[in-house]
Amino acid sequence: MVEKTKILEAVKLAVEQAPKRNFTEGIDITINLKNIDMAQPKNRIDETIMLPHGTGKKVGIAVLGKGDITTQAKEAKVDIIIGPEEIERLGGAPREARKVANAYRFFLAETAVMPLVGKHLGPRLGPRGRMPTPIPQGTDIRPMVERLRNSIKVRTKDKKVLHIKVGSTSMDNEQVAENIDTVMKRIESVLEQGHHNIRSVFVKTTMGPAVKVT
């Protein structure tokens, strides 16, 4: 397990070494794994991680369905609401469906429309790891939306490298370090050998040089 002080030192150094920009940059970590066969499905990672301080940038959330779920979605100020007819229409408009799949990070869908989603949007959402979370009728989605606003998705295929957004330069270094600590603990918890499966970790701003954390 990486010490929090080492994480904070690396974040400070990464921000200090980054060329000064007139815009807010993202801050990412790269985790290199070892002694693990990512070709085996059991070793792949597919985690939604709630960050203590969010990423500093808006996370796109889409809600699919009709009726009560759309009322809640409006109250929660989700980015887009897609009804059953629109789901079907997008199925015949692959380019537009691809844009929707790329534009929003999390999808929530009323269970009643999941068959429609699978048929018409599954080919666009599935490969991107963005198939919706099914929402049973009567569920209050507002707390879920709030959590997702501060969450990230970490998903691997067959590569031993993870690139994860953990914050932005508009945030305090301590907040970014806390986010990294949260991510590291979660990743270690799902690896077969925990921290022994981690070869190295680097942190960097979007345009800056990488700084080794461990």
Whole-angstrom distance, CA of residue 108 vs CA of residue 106? 7
Give per-residue pLDDT as tens, 77-102: 999 999 999 999 999 999 999 999 99
DSSP string, the chain: ---HHHHHHHHHHHHHHSPP-SSPPEEEEEEEE-S--TTSGGG--EEEEE-TT--SSPPPEEEE--THHHHHHHHTT-SEEE-HHHHHHHHT-HHHHHHHHHH-SEEEEEGGGHHHHHHHTHHHHGGGT-PPEEE-TT---HHHHHHHHTEEEEE-SS-SEEEEEEEETTS-HHHHHHHHHHHHHHHHHHSTTGGGGEEEEEEEESSSPPEE--
* Residue 154, beta-bridge partner list: 47
What does the block give as tokens for 86? 């629109």
pLDDT in tens, 111-127: 999 999 999 999 999 99
Q: Which domains does the chain have, with CATH numbers?
A: 4-56+151-212 (3.30.190.20), 61-148 (3.40.50.790)
Amino acid at 29: I
- Compute the average pLDDT of residues 24-53: 94
67 pLDDT above the threshold of 80: yes
Give the pLDDT band (50/70/90) at residue 76: very high
Chain position carrying tokens 């914050």: 167
The stretch 34-61 carries a mean pLDDT of 93
Nearest to 20 by CA among 214, 212, 205, 211: 205
**What is the model's pTM?**
0.87
Task: Please name every residue paired with 155 in a beta bridge, in sequence order, or none if there are none.
Answer: 46
Identify the bridge partners of residue 161 per DSSP, sorted by sequence position: 32
